[in-house]
Amino acid sequence: MNLRFLGMDPNTDTGNCPTVWFDIDSQEFVLQGWKPGDMLTTECLRTGSIPDHEAVIRLPARMAALLREACDLADGA
């Protein structure tokens, strides 16, 4: 695993979350975020089930630059 730390939400109050990494070897996004509330989870379930080994998380829009950087890494930019 070649995990590249890209950044953390600058407004985090705990210094731990949300966070974005990119795994260079597997070419996968690694995201840490907040678990959504029950209403959002219910809304997400309308498009399909969420297997036990998967999760829905939330990231604030202010982290868009970090997600773009992760996408650039995935594209080989």
pLDDT digits (tens, 9 = 90+) for 32-49: 998 888 788 888 899 999
Express the helix, strand and coil content of the chain in percent, nearest 5 each: 30, 25, 45
Q: Fill in the amino acid letter for 59.
A: L
- What's the confidence (pLDDT) of residue 47? 93
User: CA angle at residue 59 from 64 to 21, to 5 degrees?
Assistant: 70
Q: What are phi and psi of 61, to 5 degrees?
A: -60, -25
Least Cα distance to 19 among 27, 28, 29 occurs for 29
- What's the confidence (pLDDT) of residue 73? 93
Low-confidence ranges of the chain (pLDDT < 50): none
pTM (predicted TM-score): 0.81
